[in-house]
Amino acid sequence: MDTPQPSSPVAAPVEWIPLTVASCNLLNLALPGRVFYPNQEPYGMAEHERKLDWIGQMLRRLNADVAGVQEVWDEAALKAAVARSGLQSMQALAPGAETGAQGTPRVGLVTRLKVEAVRSLAEFGPGESVIVPEVGEHARFERPVLHATLRTKRGQRLHVLVAHLKSKRPKFLQDAEGRALEDRDDPRVAARASLRSMIMRGAESAALRARVIELIHRTRDPLVLLGDMNDGPHSVTSQLIAATQAVAYDRQARDVALFHALDVQTEPALRRDLAYSHVFQGWPELLDQIWVSEEWVGSSRFALGDVRRVEVFNDHLHEGRDRTRSDHGFVRALLRLKSSPAA
């Protein structure tokens, strides 16, 4: 008589919990009548209302659990736009813009997740400053990075970083009143001004990289970086932040690398589409990006979830320039977290 063999334990089925994230550059979201740049007229009431309506409609379309937003001058305007969306249980915050940002707009967060902590990262860490030619020490983010610690309904802790890095606009020298100190029509001067800008963006990228390492090195807390990086995902500055390319030579580098959501999405057919979120002089660019830590890479043995798909909402970029809309497309990623079925 054959001896019955013990049966192998049946693995519990995996339950996938969806989590939608997005990055949205709102293009100078400010209260009506408020001067945000000296060379731009403030919004009138009707123009402001149209902008709130448009942002509200876009936020409703995205229906993101977590949205990182850029170019917020007034937190009150952000909250009004979120209210206009009709989405329920949403929190909106923009550190530094609670009573109106000065000098430069801030980044913010819109989320329905529990917010455990929020901090604004303005200063670089020790030893991270750089010297910019003819300008001096660059030791802080022009637009502070937002770091939020969130908690999902199932209790998973999640780090979210929202960034808006230095633009490619040339950094020309000027005095305290904004008067030019060099000939901006001289191509050699323009090249050096662009070099200054690139150095500043590179320094911000390296400082952000240091913050990423602090958060994910030897931890299993998933991280998402949402932002307008003002450069492409394969640029030097973006790779300073992500270090994805190092993974090809050192598998251990995965622990502190970030992965572009488009590259690790599990619906590969979508990768064939040209993704762009901005058009500059007729050239499409993907400036607005979503980066994820190894915990979102489905093929990793440390995966806690995956990136299902990434979408770019950019139809409005071909509808003519109108500051009541954004000059950037919005990027959305559908992530999934693994969860054991509730008892």
Average pLDDT score over residue span 221-240: 95
pLDDT at 326 over 90: yes
What is the pLDDT, as a whole number, of residue 15?
A: 86
Lowest mean pLDDT among 91-105, 129-143, 175-189, 269-283: 269-283
What is the pLDDT, as a whole number, of residue 341?
A: 40
Q: What is the pLDDT of residues 61-76, one digit of tens each?
A: 999 999 999 999 999 9
> What's the chain's average pLDDT?
91
Average pLDDT score over residue span 215-229: 94
When pLDDT is cut at 50, 70 and 90, the band that residue 254 belongs to is confident
pLDDT at 342 over 50: no
What is the pLDDT, as a whole number, of residue 10?
A: 61
Average pLDDT score over residue span 202-221: 95
When pLDDT is cut at 50, 70 and 90, the band that residue 270 belongs to is low
When pLDDT is cut at 50, 70 and 90, the band that residue 320 belongs to is confident
Average pLDDT score over residue span 334-342: 76
Counting Cβ atoms within 10 Å, is residue 266 exposed (0-12), middle (13-18) or buried (19+)?
A: middle
Q: What is the pLDDT of residues 34-65, one digit of tens each?
A: 999 988 999 999 999 999 999 999 999 999 99
Distance between CA 9 and CA 6 in Å, rounded? 9
pLDDT at 343 over 70: no
Q: H or E stretch including 195?
A: helix 187-216
- Report the share of the chain in percent with pLDDT over 70: 92
What is the pLDDT, as a whole number, of residue 190?
A: 96
Going along the chain from its start, the domains and CATH numbers come out as 15-123+142-171+220-339 (3.60.10.10)
Q: How far is CA 207 from CA 130, 237, 300, in A?
A: 10, 11, 27
Average pLDDT score over residue span 20-39: 96
Distance between CA 336 and CA 124 in Å, rounded? 33
Distance between CA 37 and CA 233 in Å, rounded? 29
Average pLDDT score over residue span 195-213: 97
Average pLDDT score over residue span 90-108: 97
Quick one: residue 162, left, alpha or beta (phi over 0 = left, psi -120 to 50 = alpha)?
A: beta
pLDDT at 249 over 70: no
When pLDDT is cut at 50, 70 and 90, the band that residue 248 belongs to is low
- Report the share of the chain in percent with pLDDT over 90: 76
Q: Taking Cα atoms as reference points, which of 234, 167, 175 lies closest to residue 196?
A: 167
DSSP 44-74: PHHHHHHHHHHHHHHHHHH--SEEEEEEES-
Average pLDDT score over residue span 223-234: 95
What is the pLDDT, as a whole number, of residue 103?
A: 92
Q: What is the pLDDT of residues 155-171, one digit of tens each?
A: 999 999 999 999 999 99
What is the pLDDT, as a whole number, of residue 268?
A: 64
Distance between CA 256 and CA 206 in Å, rounded? 13
Lowest mean pLDDT among 20-24, 199-203, 230-234: 230-234
- Using an 8 Å Cβ cutoff, are 71 and 143 in contact? no
pLDDT at 274 over 70: no
